[in-house]
Structure 1
């Protein structure tokens, strides 16, 4: 008789269990044969089948169906790995927070870098187009052929390579022109304090050539900045210069003393070293505001001609 395991579930009966045939060794262990040997003098056995207590002879050998009587699935009765439980699929490993943050940072950084690169490329292209347009505008813009307060002929090319502040007025102006020239001189003085900045050349162009000759201009400019240059010329030359910079001026009626006032545009112009008009400042701008604007233009200046 094959060996099995002994247990005494209740009373004085001793049970021996044997694993059922291979076909039934699956998800659960079933009793194939139960042999009862009473420790007393009786030679009959009791067997439990489907919950009913029956009687079998001690040495009867027969096979019961696997579903007759089952034991709890426990490792105490197994001699190998149990196959009664279906393998549970392991949940997918969770991605750590640091890993997700790193992936997000790398992805976002790549997108941001690509955006900055495309933006830089677009800005460079626009800058090149702007430079080409400015070159076309700068050539011949604001050209003039005048004479300075020392009698030397001056053209626009003479001031290439210099930052220029230019004002159109006349020496007999009672208040506005002196005030604007004083303000322009103050701007130049403010900029001169910053040694890292290039010098600015102030220029005063008359719109009253009949009265503002070389001598009159020489006397007048002495009252302002020492670098101030006064320009005059014939009525035709002054007219061409005013037209180039879109300056309006018109002489008023003469009084008994043959004196008159010239109505004109009140504006200070800024020219870069290429001779290109960059900005203008009306009477509402202070000297500090104009100086700050000129500094910004100097910082963003791109040379057009080599």
Structure 2
């Protein structure tokens, strides 16, 4: 029930209204990214994202300012994830490669929501295996929780599994974050690398 409530809360925050939203937003005020958006965030994009403090692969404490230096694709997952995380992070890495071929500098970021097992070294190795430019981050349970709450993500450790090889339920959105503007948009699992690259390029061109 807790998981359903969290997902329902996010669903209430993110509403897709298609042509009506597009027609009203395109001609509206000052959103420079109106032509890039395919979904509407109730209350505005500022409702998602914000400062975070985490730990990088070298064990150094870093903030969002240290990490988000180029347009970035931010994903919350964990290295023991058997299927979803590898698929999503590989998709993100492929989108970054497509963007690189087009001349765009985009950084993939992986934030662990399993700080008990994901040490800085483990997260660093995982990120490097997925993409040579991927930044892997972890932190204390408090730091991870704060970052997750900033991005409105959900995660919960399965308590009824093996105490060493447990699974973690979590949301699977990927977030586009721009260095100056902050959170810009999110991508669902079904978005292809090419589709992701096209939308990210639109945001960068509009910046």
Question: TM-score scaled by structure 1?
Answer: 0.52
How far off is 1:273 after superposition? 2.1
What SS does the corresponding residue of 1:181 show, helix, strand or coil? helix
Map Cα deviations across residues 182-230 of structure 1 (whole Å, 9 max, x no partner).
Answer: 00000000000012x3x11110000000000112112212211101010
Q: Which whole-Å CA distance do the structure 2 matches of 1:233 and 1:256 have between them?
A: 23
Q: How many residues align?
A: 171
1:287 correspondence with 2:184: no
Q: 1 or 2, which has the higher helix percentage?
A: 2
What SS does the corresponding residue of 2:199 show, helix, strand or coil? helix
1:178 alignment counterpart: 86
When residues 239 and 289 of structure 1 are mapped into structure 2, their CA distance, relative to the original with a 3 A threshold, is: same
Q: Which runs of 5+ in 2 are unaligned?
A: 1-26, 34-43
1:278 correspondence with 2:184: yes
Query: Is the CA contact 2:161–2:167 (under 8 Å) kept in the aligned structure 1?
Result: no
Structure number with greater Rg is 1
Q: Which whole-Å CA distance do the structure 2 matches of 1:272 and 1:218 have between them?
A: 22
Q: Which runs of 5+ in 1 are unaligned?
A: 1-122, 131-135, 302-306
Question: TM-score scaled by structure 2?
Answer: 0.75
When residues 224 and 236 of structure 1 are mapped into structure 2, their CA distance, relative to the original with a 3 A threshold, is: same
How far off is 1:254 after superposition? 4.4
How far off is 1:272 after superposition? 1.3
Of the two structures, which has the highest relative contact order with CA contacts closer than 8 Å and spacing of 6 or more?
Answer: 2
1:165 correspondence with 2:73: yes
1:150 alignment counterpart: 58
Q: Which whole-Å CA distance do the structure 2 matches of 1:250 and 1:140 have between them?
A: 20
* Corresponding residue to 1:245 among 135, 151, 157: 151
